[in-house]
Structure 1
Amino acid sequence: MQRPELESDPERSFVMDSALSDPHNASAEAGSPANGTTRPPSTPEGIALAYGSLLLMALLPIFFGALRSVRCARGKNASDMPETITSRDAARFPIIASCTLLGLYLFFKIFSQEYINLLLSMYFFVLGILALSHTISPFMSKFFPANFPNRQYQLLFTQGSGENKEEIINYEFDTKDLVCLGLSSIVGVWYLLRKHWIANNLFGLAFSLNGVELLHLNNVSTGCILLGGLFIYDIFWVFGTNVMVTVARSFEAPIKLVFPQDLLERGLEANNFAMLGLGDIVIPGIFIALLLRFDISLKKNTHTYFYTSFAAYIFGLGLTIFIMHIFKHAQPALLYLVPACIGFPVLVALAKGEVTEMFSYEESNPKDPAAVTESKEGAEASASEGLEKKEK
């Protein structure tokens, strides 16, 4: 009997049978010869370990990314400002994702898969180093001695001159960040040369955590639009066509988390992978992070909606894996994650009578000139009131 695996495409992941080729390695399907060897059949223990590890790895970037998103929203460093997703962005995202997926499908059909993956590997090599460096920087700061010579740097790139000067890049960093960048580069070279699954996961976890931390939904309604659109997107491209499957089989990049089902038999050289795409971590993750910030805005010293949505994500991903094993067929993960991640918190809000507060909660875009102007006007008004009080 064939064992199912989680496969992924650049935007989403879905569950499919292991009869489909594994894009992460050159091994054949279970029981089939590949270069004179056979892929060992997965044991129940190995499958449980693989899926349990994937679930744990999916939860880590969501949990820590959500916590860091709170600090990110309050931060003043221009290089760490979040990117706010509006309702218009959310409505267009499934269309853009579909065009990207279809474009990759045509590229793989027309051009050589080897050269495309080489180009993608170089692209994700650079992105992965930057993402991993940003991820480990807060943790590594604790290990530097107090007398470490830490110098400040700023990378500033502008356009125009005088009053028309406009900032294109304004990135502030220090010597500690450069050390983190060096360590991340070692992982990047390891991934580029070996494509080892541990290096892949380090990059994948970094991408996921950065996505949850830096991509902010401006309100719950926008989150519902985004998740609802991708809910339809996932179902259509998995059940309606073979485009997603073809791209998933051809695409080689750290856009998925992997864990070997034969780890107990072959150790670190195992190659029979279960996989989970980063899209099914980041997209629900940014919605869960929004609910954490909503919890904090209520000022009740409780994180009810955050923990509810977090539990809903565990339930949805577990249900995806269960359905996959029952029907032995590819399953779009968002088919189960979206109803759970939206439905559970809404039910809690109904029970607590806070539905109005939930859907009226709004986050302003720190990069929006209108929001900045409004903030400045508010600050000036407060300052004027303060001066008037002093004069009186």
Structure 2
Amino acid sequence: MLAWAQTACYAALVFLTIASNVVLLPVNFQLIVSATSIVYIGSTLSLKLKQHRDATGEKNEEAMTKEDAYMFPIIGSGMLFGLYLLFKFFDKDIVNLLLTAYFALIGTYSLTEAFSPVVRAIAFSDNERHFKRSFELPYFGKQTIDLTPSWCTTGVFAAGFAAAWFQTKHFVLNNIFGISLSIKGIESLSLGSYKVGAILLCGLFFYDIFWVFGTDVMVTVATKFDGPIKLLFPRAFATATEKAKFSILGLGDIVIPGIFVALLLRFDAHRAKATTITEPFPRPYFHINILFYVLGLVATVVVMLVFNAAQPALLYLVPACLGSSLVTAIVRGELKELLAYSEEDEDDKEKKGVDDKKKTEEPKKDK
């Protein structure tokens, strides 16, 4: 069964998605609740990464290295500027057609992965039959499809959503795909270590400031690209004479801090030596970081309202998440342990411990 908090987050996302299509809810309330719920769900699901390593001893193939963290803002800048040039020199409709076709396929898979646990909890059981297959997915690496009745049922509905979104580009369908992509990203991507996470956040802190304040590139791509790279929150519904108006939150402002929050949750699990997803354990770093993620979003909204201008959310989210984790570690006297935390080193130590145990047992058997 899903944990009650995780279930509440799913319920909040479903409620906001449905209600926003009928009534105009406060935009800032939608933004904060949606983003926080996604980060919470993705982080708790990411405990599967640790459980998989504990059970198999295999390292996570998606773990980011220091080199990756240093290069990420540069590669991201290149891709962002490339999209900007495509929209500037080519037909907007053709560019969107190609990109949305790709995102429709990716969105179908991510939507199935994100919501199949809900379908399983409601209509199926945990003892389903499994049929597994592995494949390579662009930008996500090696993925494994675990076919179950609940997964297949969710997949049929996801394909229907993809077809509907491809035809209509309705904001509700866009948000459904954006939510599922974000949850899947947070769940499956690992920073590998706290230091790598700090490097990545610092790099993207300056990346976001430059492309939002220094140029019109970020805003141009965000407003012209019809794909689910953002969540849309309606400020005014369409009328006979005017188009609908939306506020925007980029998925990067959810996924990037989200994978850092997820790392801290796995650090909590490491400290408590938890070995299963459902096992209760103290989560001080996770809960404090979630709280400060919310405060970072609140700060973003307040500044945006005061200056009536688009804001780089990472300008506020990075200090909130990074700073709160460091202060928590200092207060708890665990700063050295936090800075040294590495999921790669954890894997190596566990493997070395198993090998050493085998070596000590072999002489006994010979005797």
Flag whether TM exceeds 0.5 (same fold): yes
Give how far 1:86 is off.
Answer: 1.2
Hey, what's the Cα distance between the residues in 2 that align with 1:270 and 1:334? 29
Question: Is 1:52 aligned to 2:64, yes or no?
Answer: no
Give how far 1:145 is off.
Answer: 5.0
Task: Give deviations 1:287-336, integer Å, cap 9, x for gaps.
Answer: 11111111121228421111111111111111011001111122111111
Hey, what's the Cα distance between the residues in 1 that align with 2:267 and 2:337? 9
Question: Is 1:279 aligned to 2:256, yes or no?
Answer: no
Classify the secondary structure of the residue corresponding to 1:252. coil
1:299 is aligned, of 262, 272, 279, to 272
Tell me what 2:185 maps to.
Answer: 211
Task: Give deviations 1:59-111, integer Å, cap 9, x for gaps.
Answer: 11211111111123222699x95611111101000000110011111111221
Classify the secondary structure of the residue corresponding to 1:261. strand
Classify the secondary structure of the residue corresponding to 1:85. coil
1:246-285 matches, cutoff 5 A: 246-262=220-236, 271-285=244-258
For the 8 Å contact 1:150–1:176, the answer to whether it is kept is: no
Identity fraction in percent = 38
Point out where structure 1 has 5 or more consecutive residues left out of the alignment: 1-44, 158-166
Q: How many residues align?
A: 330
Hey, what's the Cα distance between the residues in 2 that align with 1:271 and 1:328? 19
Tell me what 1:379 maps to.
Answer: 354
Classify the secondary structure of the residue corresponding to 2:63. strand
Give how far 1:221 is off.
Answer: 1.1
For the 8 Å contact 1:155–1:169, the answer to whether it is kept is: yes
Alpha-carbon distance change, 169 to 346 in structure 1, aligned in 2, over 3 angstroms: closer
Amino acid at match of 1:324: M
For the 8 Å contact 2:130–2:146, the answer to whether it is kept is: no
Point out where structure 2 has 5 or more consecutive residues left out of the alignment: 1-22, 274-280
Tell me what 2:17 maps to.
Answer: none
Question: Is 1:362 aligned to 2:342, yes or no?
Answer: yes
Classify the secondary structure of the residue corresponding to 2:190. strand
Tell me what 1:19 maps to.
Answer: none
Give how far 1:146 is off.
Answer: 6.3
For the 8 Å contact 2:268–2:286, the answer to whether it is kept is: yes
Superposition CA RMSD, Å: 3.2
Tell me what 1:96 maps to.
Answer: 75
Classify the secondary structure of the residue corresponding to 2:182. helix
Hey, what's the Cα distance between the residues in 1 that align with 2:106 and 2:73? 23
Alpha-carbon distance change, 388 to 222 in structure 1, aligned in 2, over 3 angstroms: same
Hey, what's the Cα distance between the residues in 1 that align with 2:100 and 2:253? 21
Deviates most, 144-153 or 214-223: 144-153
Amino acid at match of 2:29: G
Amino acid at match of 1:208: S
Alpha-carbon distance change, 326 to 153 in structure 1, aligned in 2, over 3 angstroms: closer
Question: Is 1:64 aligned to 2:38, yes or no?
Answer: no
Give how far 1:249 is off.
Answer: 2.4
2:297 is aligned, of 313, 317, 325, to 317
Hey, what's the Cα distance between the residues in 2 that align with 1:279 and 1:385? 49
Amino acid at match of 2:259: I
Tell me what 1:241 maps to.
Answer: 215
Hey, what's the Cα distance between the residues in 2 that align with 1:345 and 1:328? 31
Give how far 1:344 is off.
Answer: 1.3
Task: Give deviations 1:143-183, integer Å, cap 9, x for gaps.
Answer: 445699846253579xxxxxxxxx97764433442222111
1:174-193 matches, cutoff 5 A: 174-193=148-167
For the 8 Å contact 2:120–2:126, the answer to whether it is kept is: no
- Structure with greater helix percent: 2
Amino acid at match of 1:294: F
Amino acid at match of 1:334: L
Tell me what 1:37 maps to.
Answer: none
Hey, what's the Cα distance between the residues in 2 that align with 1:378 and 1:94? 37
- Structure with greater strand percent: 1
Alpha-carbon distance change, 351 to 243 in structure 1, aligned in 2, over 3 angstroms: same
Based on CA coordinates, which of the two structures has the bigger radius of gyration?
A: 1
Give how far 1:353 is off.
Answer: 1.4
Hey, what's the Cα distance between the residues in 2 that align with 1:359 and 1:57? 30
Hey, what's the Cα distance between the residues in 2 that align with 1:169 and 1:352? 38
For the 8 Å contact 2:128–2:148, the answer to whether it is kept is: no
Give how far 1:346 is off.
Answer: 0.8
Hey, what's the Cα distance between the residues in 2 that align with 1:144 and 1:330? 43
Hey, what's the Cα distance between the residues in 1 that align with 2:131 and 2:197? 37
Hey, what's the Cα distance between the residues in 2 that align with 1:182 and 1:130? 10
Tell me what 1:116 maps to.
Answer: 95
Question: Is 1:200 aligned to 2:174, yes or no?
Answer: yes
For the 8 Å contact 1:82–1:213, the answer to whether it is kept is: no
For the 8 Å contact 2:304–2:310, the answer to whether it is kept is: yes
Task: Give deviations 1:234-276, integer Å, cap 9, x for gaps.
Answer: 111111112222222221101111121236x98xx99221221
Classify the secondary structure of the residue corresponding to 2:343. coil
TM-score for the superposition, normalised by structure 2: 0.81
Hey, what's the Cα distance between the residues in 1 that align with 2:171 and 2:345? 37
Question: Is 1:345 aligned to 2:328, yes or no?
Answer: no
Higher relative contact order (CA 8 A, sep 6+): 1
